DNA sequence: GTGAAAGCGCTAACAA
DNA sequence: TTGTTAGCGCTTTCAC
């Protein structure tokens, strides 16, 4: 059995109060008792139980992280950053992959509440309802990252998605493209919507008209992106450039292009979003819009810890400007189907 | 404040025992009381506190997962699999990335113990000492995945690394390569050692001699792999094929090749290990040794849960046969430096 | 400087 | 069928 505070107290011939005080560095204890007790703790290999501590109201030192999918490198990198910084603050993190599924979200949030996590970080695109109904009333500290919930007042750290969409489209336009497709995740995700808006704005600012045919939606799996992009490539007059709203989708687009006998970037340019490791290693390396993932992770957790331990009330909204990272997947149009009409 | 079992009892006009029994479906309770209490619970939005429950000895329903790095897709995919299956069993998982650093390992294990996790899954290559000294005596249920600790008696699920190394080398040999380099992670990782052994065995079985020049070590970062591989490519008589002991390293090798003006697979063949998403999307797609990641994750957690809830004592050692997945990064040697000597 | 005792929210004998 | 009571391991007044 794990030794308890009683064991230590007995061995040291003091009361549990004394031991507790020494553990927490509170009250005044003679240097000798201190030494003696410390020694016994060492000897017994005593570690205070955090669950007992938690029960007395000191918190569990645990936070929940809700993401869509840990297998998506963007979220894995984000989770890693959150985990690291969390540990630095003495918090561990429970990661829950929701697959952007409302039901799972609900279950996970309930479970995290039962476990009495001290706070939650939400990176899933959905669940606004759940958050509003389950989390806000319970007074659970929360922070949003890489996702926006317009109706919710909470600390938020995200990239300017509109600017990102604008950047991506502008890059393509400046290369000379006029037939620019956009592949987004479902539009109930605010970030998708914003990226689309940015793209449309860029088009408009350059006197290009937006065609609904050039917008497709997909969930964020590579295969799905590939499938959707294929629909374009099977028909004449397809886009000469495609902006995909995340790297995974962009990879799918490139695969579809390859399958259709098109070269990237000669025949079709592709730009992604996120700047995950995938962008660096894909074939060709992917031009993409970079989110400073690590930085964002650090920021949310710093803030969340602040509200947990210092009871910070003020909610900020941190919007970071994304950057265009040009690699090899974009180039000027080659003139393939140059006579095509938009 | 969150409602407690007392609130429910008071509102329902019963004792807390009754409420507790209803929560746990124990003892016999009249259908009416049951209904009444359930209704109150609903109304109060009552959720039993798992930390209080844990304190009574029912476990925390939490397990710890120790991996080297969550940002490495292999471990992200593994973690996702563990997480999913864990949730199915009603367990949540705390992930700790150790960077294969002994000190961190120690700290994380101590923290997990303080949090009274019900068990731990270890996927880090190091920490055998810590495991032996901290974990085994404490009687904490543990399971090893994708890593071996020869001195430790614990449930283990892993791929036959020796066979994997053998497969990789044989594939290269059969393509006609004779100058085959191997880039491994540090050899204190048993898996690296085994993969190297498999490679050497394959060489021997085909009357090829092993040259120490053709073995390099690196940690598992892409850049490091690239750096190491560059050393080969800067000199004449470099390998015409390289087996890297994980996909990340293999990517690094391909990047180094490209930088050196070599084409993959025409000038140099590369095979990786793990078959992560990286292998599918790299340029060119990577021939690699596949570990059934999802399956392995499911298996460990199934077992661990079994020892936690059913007190299963028997320790198995599940060794899975890896498979060669041929993609585009390997081909017959082209004759570049064909006169080079081994 | 040190300790007795109450309490955190829950479970599990044991009574009634 | 329901309730009383004693813990689980710790923190925290409040006395001594």
CATH top-level class for A5-48? mainly alpha
Q: Is B149 left (phi over 0), alpha (psi -120 to 50) or beta?
A: beta
CB contact under 8 A, A80 and B60: no
What integer is the mean pLDDT of B322-335? 94
Mean pLDDT, residues B317-340 taken together: 84
> Does residue A48 approach strand D to less than 7 Å at its CB?
yes
Q: Which residues have CB atoms below 7 Å from chain C, the nucleic strand?
A: A 13-18, 21, 27-30, 32-34, 52, 55-57; B 1-2, 4-6, 16-17, 20, 23-24, 26, 48-49, 52-53, 55-58
Judge whether residue B337 has pLDDT over 70. Answer: no
Does the CB of A56 sit below 7 A from strand D?
yes
The pLDDT of residue B336: 53
Q: What is the pTM of this model?
A: 0.94
The closest CB to that of A114, out of B50, B107, B278, belongs to: B50
Distance from CA of B203 to the nearest CA of A (A): 30
Q: Of all residues in chain B, what percent carry a pLDDT higher than 70?
A: 98
Q: Is the pLDDT of residue A342 over 60?
A: no
Assigned fold of A62-159+293-320:
Rossmann fold (3.40.50)
Average pLDDT, chain B: 93
The whole-number pLDDT of residue B340 equals 37
Sign (positive or negative) of CA dihedral A298, A303, A304, A305: positive
Q: What is the pLDDT of residue B341?
A: 35
Instruction: Tell me the pLDDT band of B126, cut-offs 50, 70 and 90.
Output: confident
Q: Smallest Cα–Cα separation from A119: which of A63, A71, A171, A169? A: A63
Delimiting residues of CATH 3.40.50.2300 domain(s) in chain B: 62-159+293-320, 161-291
Question: Which bases in strand C are touched by protein, i.e. have an atom under 7 Å from a CB?
Answer: 1-5, 7-13
pLDDT single digits (tens) B257-305: 999 999 999 999 999 999 999 999 998 999 999 999 999 999 999 999 9
Q: What is the mean predicted confidence (pLDDT) over B173-179?
A: 97
Model confidence over B194-223: pLDDT tens digits? Answer: 999 999 999 999 999 999 999 999 998 999
Q: Sheet holding B317-320: strands in order across?
A: A317-320, A155-159, A142-145, A119-122, A62-67, A92-97, B92-97, B62-67, B119-122, B142-145, B155-159, B317-320
Tens digits of per-residue pLDDT, A102-115?
A: 999 999 999 999 99
Task: Determine contact: A44 vs chain B, CB below 8 A.
Answer: no
Residues 237-296 of A with CB under 8 A from B: 251, 255, 277-278, 280-285
The predicted pLDDT at position A153 comes to 87
Q: Does residue B26 have a pLDDT over 80?
A: yes
pLDDT at A243 over 80: yes
Helix (H, G, I), strand (E, B) or coil at A61: coil
CB of A116 within 7 Å of some strand D atom: no
pLDDT for residue A180 is more than 50: yes
**Other CB atoms within 10 Å distance of the CB of residue A189:** 21
For CATH 1.10.260.40, list the domain ranges present in chain B.
Answer: 5-48
Residues 6+ away with beta carbon under 8 Å from A188: A125, A126
Look at B116 and A49 and tell me if their CB atoms are within 8 Å: yes
User: Across residues A120-134, what is the average pLDDT?
Assistant: 90
Q: What is the per-residue pLDDT across B84-116, written as a single tens digit (0 to 9) for each?
A: 999 999 999 999 999 999 999 999 999 999 999
Interface test with A, best of B58, B95, B130 (most A CBs within 10 A): B95
Please name the nucleotide lying closest to A30, CA to C1'.
C1
- Return the bridge partners of B14, or none: none
Fold assignment, A161-291: Rossmann fold (3.40.50)
> A320 burial class (0-12, 13-18, 19+ CB within 10 angstroms)?
middle
For chain A, give the mean pLDDT. 94
Question: How far apart are alpha carbons B313 and B316 in whole angstroms?
Answer: 10
Tell me if A51 and B54 make a contact (CB, 8 A cut-off): yes
Read off the pLDDT of residues A42-77 as tens digits, 9 standing for 90 and up: 999 999 999 999 999 999 999 999 999 999 999 999
Cα–Cα separations (whole angstroms), residue B165 to A1, A49, B138, B206: 43, 44, 36, 14
Please give the C-alpha separations between residue A280 and each of A40, A71, B110, in angstroms, as whole numbers: 53, 17, 37
Q: How many helices (H) and strands (E) does chain A have?
A: 14, 12
Query: What's the pLDDT band for A126 if we cut at 50, 70, 90?
Result: confident
Can you tell me the mean pLDDT for B158-181?
Answer: 97
CB atoms within 10 A of CB A206: 12
């Amino acid at each position: 059995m794990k030794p308890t505070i009683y064991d230590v107290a007995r061995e040291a011939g003091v009361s549990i109060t004394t031991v507790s005080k020494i553990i927490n560095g509170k009250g005044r204890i003679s240097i000798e008792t201190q030494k003696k007790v410390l020694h016994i703790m060492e000897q017994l290999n005593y570690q205070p139980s955090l669950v007992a501590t938690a029960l007395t109201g000191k918190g569990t030192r645990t936070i929940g992280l809700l993401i869509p999918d840990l297998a998506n490198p963007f979220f894995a990198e984000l989770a890693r950053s959150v985990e690291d910084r969390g540990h630095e603050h003495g918090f561990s993190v429970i990661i829950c992959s929701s697959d952007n599924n409302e039901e799972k979200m609900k279950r996970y949030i309930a479970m995290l509440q039962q476990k009495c996590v001290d706070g939650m970080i939400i990176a899933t695109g959905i669940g606004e309802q759940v958050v509003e109904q389950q989390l806000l009333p319970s007074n659970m500290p929360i922070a949003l990252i890489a996702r926006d919930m317009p109706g919710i007042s909470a600390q938020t750290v995200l990239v300017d998605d509109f600017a990102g969409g604008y950047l991506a489209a502008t890059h393509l336009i400046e290369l000379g493209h006029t037939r620019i497709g956009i592949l987004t995740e479902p539009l109930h995700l605010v970030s998708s919507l914003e990226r689309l808006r940015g793209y449309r704005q860029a088009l408009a600012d350059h006197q290009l008209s937006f065609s609904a045919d050039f917008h497709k939606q997909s969930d964020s799996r590579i295969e799905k992106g590939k499938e959707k992009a294929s629909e374009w490539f099977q028909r004449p007059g397809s886009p000469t450039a495609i902006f995909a709203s995340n790297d995974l989708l962009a990879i799918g687009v490139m695969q579809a292009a390859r399958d259709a006998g098109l070269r990237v970037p000669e025949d079709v340019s592709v730009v992604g979003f996120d700047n995950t490791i995938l962008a660096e290693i894909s074939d060709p390396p992917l031009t993409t819009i970079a989110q400073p993932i690590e930085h964002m992770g650090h920021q949310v957790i710093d803030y969340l810890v602040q509200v947990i331990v210092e009871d910070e009330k003020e909610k900020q909204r941190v919007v970071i400007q994304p950057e265009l990272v040009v690699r090899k997947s974009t180039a000027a149009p080659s003139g393939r189907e140059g006579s095509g009409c938009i």
